[in-house]
Amino acid sequence: MPIAARHPCAITSCKAVVHTKYCTAHQHLQTKYNSEHSKVSRGTTTQQGYGTTWQKVRLEHLSKHPLCVACGLRGIDRAANQVHHKVALRRGGSNESDNLQSLCSSHHSKITRSENKKVNSYAK
């Protein structure tokens, strides 16, 4: 098997050139990331509140609200394929219709990423 090309360590201030993501001095960060983002620490989707009941709620919501709300604000009619919780379940939100909005994958990713950055900045 060919060896991966060498590139800088993922830590921008580090000058090491490596074959992996991190140099030996920063390898502990990969282990920390893996443990914080593993299914074991987050639980299964059912444990997170996304079991069969959620799947039914999601399908019902998409059938009633088939277009992406964010695209609609820009005058674009695009089919939604995601249902987003305005207030996340882990922050006390519910599956009630007033807490849900239909989004396309692109907008769902952008909104979720933005919300996660806010939460992570509060945690620091």
pLDDT in tens, 93-109: 999 999 999 999 999 99
- At residue 41, the 3 state secondary structure works out as helix
Under 8 Å between Cβ of 21 and 10: yes
CA torsion 82→88→89→94, rounded to 10°? -80
Confidence (pLDDT) at 26: 80
List of the chain residues with pLDDT < 70: 1-4, 31-42, 119-124
pTM of the prediction?
0.61
- Interatomic CA distance for residues 42 and 37, integer angstroms: 7
Q: What is the pLDDT, as a whole number, of residue 72?
A: 96
